[in-house]
Amino acid sequence: MVSGLFSDTLSIMGLLITCDQCGVALADGRTCQDDFHQLLFWEGENPEFWQVHHLTVLCFHLQHPNLYSEEGLAGAKKLLVDFVEMGVSTDEIRKRDRQKLDSGSRDWNIKGDASSRGRYLHPVTWTITARDIVRGGKQHYVANVRKWADSVVESLRDSGNS
């Protein structure tokens, strides 16, 4: 078992092992966290990719809900809808949510910990994951992340977890 908040299990004796959070097959030995770090590396190399950084982080974390607290998960779901469907900009979100999310004034954690881990009430089938974005390569990164964000909103809605 991988330590930390990620509970990916590794392939044992040729069995197909999947991430218990997002369902991605881990047969190639890469974890979901490896894929996420690849995406962040690409963003570090390519400043134009930063235009979708907020979507990359939200999509990955929403597909691994234990990274959030229950309150953090609820807020992240709303935030993704604000970005994808309402067209709210990152600057608008920063202004709007600055006080609400200030660690000095909120009495709840965004990040999941032993006292509170996000989880969905109903199983979710994800149609696009970080693994798919990595496989899509850098040449279509921005467009693929936008499609990923749309798919996450749709998957949450279809599962009854929106």
Q: Give the number of domains in the chain.
A: 1
Which residues have C-beta within 8 Å of that of residue 48, sequence separation ≥ 6? 142
**Terminal CA-CA length for the chain:** 30
In a domain, 12, yes or no: no
Residue 7 lies in a domain: no
Q: Answer whether residue 146 is part of any domain.
A: yes
Closest C-alpha to 116, from 5, 18, 19? 5
Instruction: Specify whether the CB–CB gap between 88 and 130 falls below 8 A.
Output: no
Q: CA-CA distance, 39 to 120, in Å (whole number)?
A: 25
Kindly tell me the sign of the dihedral angle through the C-alpha atoms of 130, 135, 136, 142: positive
Q: What is the pTM (predicted TM-score) of this model?
A: 0.85
Q: For residues 148 and 142, give the distance between their C-alpha atoms in angstroms, rounded to a whole number.
A: 10
* Distance separating alpha carbons of residues 144 and 42, to the nearest angstrom: 13
| Local structure of 49: helix, strand or coil | helix
How confident is the prediction along the chain (162 residues), in pLDDT tens digits per residue? 222 333 444 444 556 788 999 999 887 788 999 999 999 999 999 999 999 999 999 999 999 999 999 999 999 999 999 999 999 888 888 888 776 766 677 666 778 888 899 999 999 999 999 999 999 999 999 999 999 999 999 999 999 998
3-state helix, strand, coil in the chain (%, to 5): 55, 5, 40
Cα–Cα distance measured from residue 70 to residue 109, given in angstroms and rounded to the nearest whole number: 9
| Other Cβ atoms within 10 Å of 152 Cβ, number | 25
Question: Residue 64 is part of which domain span?
Answer: 32-159
